[in-house]
Amino acid sequence: MTGERHHKANAGALDQCAGGSLPLSTTGNQGLDALADAIAERVFQRLTAAQERNRGRLLDVSAAAEYIGRTPTALRHLIAKKTIPCVRRDGRVQLDRQDLDRWVELSKTGG
């Protein structure tokens, strides 16, 4: 397949995915296809659960670190220095999106 035809075929597949209908492929092996489907479903459930956990205003340390582009260790250091406030609830540390946004804004330098 030439590069242009390959690109058009991929664009068509992406259009189908964006429309909500994924193109299905098969290996010809029912057991392998069933295993692939089970793995895909499990990955989807985990991703959906992670999105649900972090949808609210408060984020756990890992999600907050990703949100501001830092490692969880670096974020814990900022929390310990009281550079970023946190909410301690039920033995867990959570961070408010608004506090993270404020920290980002205050960290900007002119330039």
Q: Compute the half-sphere exposure of residue 107: CA atoms within 13 Å on the CB side of its CA.
A: 11
pLDDT digits (tens, 9 = 90+) for 42-95: 998 888 877 766 578 899 999 999 999 999 999 999 999 999 999 998 999 999
- Alpha carbons 96 and 40: distance in angstroms, whole number: 32
pLDDT attached to residue 14? 42
| Digit-coded pLDDT (tens) for 18-32 | 445 555 778 888 999
DSSP code at position 2: -
Cβ atoms of 106 and 70 within 8 Å: the answer is no
- Does pTM top 0.75 for this prediction? no
